[in-house]
Amino acid sequence: MAAHGARNRGGGRPTLEEVAARAGVGRGTVSRVINGSPRVSDATRAAVEAAVAELGYVPNTAARALAANRTDAIALVVPEPETRFFAEPYFSDMLRGVGAQLAETEMQLLLIFAGNDRERQRLAQYLAAHRVDGVLLVSVHADDPLPDLLSQLEIPAVISGRRSARETLPSVDSDNFAGAYAAVEHLLGRGRRVIATIAGRLDVYGAQRRVDGYRAALEAAGREVDERLVVPGDFTEEGGRRAMTELLERSPELDAVFAGSDVMAAGARQVLRERGRRIPEDVALVGYDDSAIARHMDPPLTSVRQPIEEMGRAMIDLLLAEIADRRPAASRTLDGRQLVLPNELVERASS
């Protein structure tokens, strides 16, 4: 560690000062041009830009960070092991949205995994050093200490989803309640009589809301909710299999299943197949996320689409606003800083 790499100041990189000399102006003026300040005359701006081009000047990020006390970087923190990250299409969609929106700016995106204690330790250190201007927090569980750490360090942050109905951080969520409601309404509309649900992890607020939506839709249709038809999965394929097995035991006559994620639906499908139940003839199946899995399943899976990419974009917008604002977070309301985007049912052959 700390093997001081030999210096590398090889006569090369021009500095602000050199650009200023070349353009025949002062340091301050060059800085203003570089940073797009409007308080520069057109002629001066042109001269500076020419000098920048001639010298191939590129600002020194470290110097800027030191002087301005900002890093021009934000972190996307994934509190999951890397395997989850690659397995869940959710993350790649999110990353695409975030990346696209950030491409408009000079900001750099860092991807940080915090899946185990060691990584979390490192992350805490990293945040304490204020190496990023803001943080995007995806896939947070109710009891995660990370959000509070961020508030305490006064680091601007935006969370995907919410930890509870009274989320204190700026957030971007999708309307899980309405999405689940629509899915179950759809199943009812197709004349399904016994509708079960495979829930996600209930320490994830969104998963809870999907169960709430499921219940509300049944009640609105005058059906009684049978709690034995609500079985938790854990968002994995294996969890979906287990839950489906359990459901078939509890209620062999069920004719529809609403799964809290496509991956769990895929697990459920396997079990249904093994037991000789046809989809959708015997049992209708609906998933959540509208991921690639849903489109490629046999039969193609009806699913609720979350606008994940759009959520990513929205998170960036919110975060950049947070960073620009920078008043003590406590002194502000959450008005307009908590978004809920609509979900949409995508009907396919499985229901």
Partner DNA sequence: ATCACTTGTGGGAGCGCTCCCACAGCACCT
Partner DNA sequence: AGGTGCTGTGGGAGCGCTCCCACAAGTGAT
Which of DNA, a copy of itself, none does residue 330 bind (CB under 5 to 8 Å by kind)?
none
**Smallest distance, a copy of itself to C-beta of residue 243, A:** 22
Contact between 151 and DNA (CB under 7 A)? no
Which of DNA, a copy of itself, none does residue 41 bind (CB under 5 to 8 Å by kind)?
DNA
Pairing verdict, β 302-305 and 344-346 = antiparallel
Which of DNA, a copy of itself, none does residue 125 bind (CB under 5 to 8 Å by kind)?
a copy of itself
Q: What DSSP element (H or E) covers 72?
A: none
Contact between 105 and DNA (CB under 7 A)? no
**Residue for token pair 């989803």:** 161
In this structure, are residues 93 and 308 in contact, taking their beta carbons and an 8 Å threshold? Answer: yes
The whole-angstrom separation of Cα 80 and Cα 146 is 12
**Site size for a copy of itself, by CB under 8 A?**
57
Contact between 130 and DNA (CB under 7 A)? no
Neighbouring residues of 65: CB distance < 8 A, sequence distance ≥ 6:
71, 72
Contact between 264 and DNA (CB under 7 A)? no
> What x-and-dash track marks residues 29-58 binding a copy of itself by CB under 8 A?
------xxx------------------x-x
Of 324, 337, 339, 313, residue with least CA distance to 109: 313
Site for DNA in 41-100 (CB under 7 A): 41, 43-45, 57, 59-60, 63-64, 66-68
Given the complex with DNA, which of 60 and 152 has the nearer CB atom?
60
Contact between 231 and a copy of itself (CB under 8 A)? no
Q: What does each C-alpha distance from 269 to 198, 229, 284 come to in angstroms?
A: 12, 17, 10
> What x-and-dash track marks residues 5-44 binding DNA by CB under 7 A?
--x-x---x-xxx------xxxxxx-xx-xx--xxxx-xx
Contact between 169 and DNA (CB under 7 A)? no
The whole-angstrom separation of Cα 145 and Cα 149 is 6
**Smallest distance, DNA to C-beta of residue 316, A:** 21
Please report which residue ranges of the chain form alpha helices under DSSP H: 16-23, 27-34, 42-55, 61-68, 82-87, 89-102, 117-128, 146-152, 176-189, 205-220, 237-250, 262-274, 292-296, 308-325
The whole-angstrom separation of Cα 149 and Cα 152 is 5
Of 156, 75, 78, 101, residue with least CA distance to 310: 101
Given the complex with DNA, which of 11 and 276 has the nearer CB atom?
11
Contact between 116 and DNA (CB under 7 A)? no
> What x-and-dash track marks residues 75-114 binding a copy of itself by CB under 8 A?
-------xx--x-----x--xx--x---x-xx-x-xx-x-
Helix, strand, coil abundance in the chain, percent, nearest 5: 45, 15, 40
Which of a copy of itself, DNA, none does residue 193 bind (CB under 5 to 8 Å by kind)?
none
**Residue for token pair 């990293």:** 126
**Smallest distance, a copy of itself to C-beta of residue 125, A:** 7
The whole-angstrom separation of Cα 41 and Cα 215 is 64
Which of DNA, a copy of itself, none does residue 40 bind (CB under 5 to 8 Å by kind)?
DNA
The whole-angstrom separation of Cα 22 and Cα 269 is 70
Q: What does each C-alpha distance from 152 to 44, 68, 115, 190 come to in angstroms?
A: 44, 22, 21, 50
Q: Which residues bind DNA (CB under 7 A)?
A: 4, 7, 9, 13, 15-17, 24-29, 31-32, 34-35, 38-41, 43-45, 57, 59-60, 63-64, 66-68
Q: Which residues bind a copy of itself (CB under 8 A)?
A: 1-10, 13, 35-37, 56, 58-63, 65-66, 68-71, 82-83, 86, 92, 95-96, 99, 103, 105-106, 108, 110-111, 113, 118-119, 122, 125-126, 128-131, 133, 154, 323-327
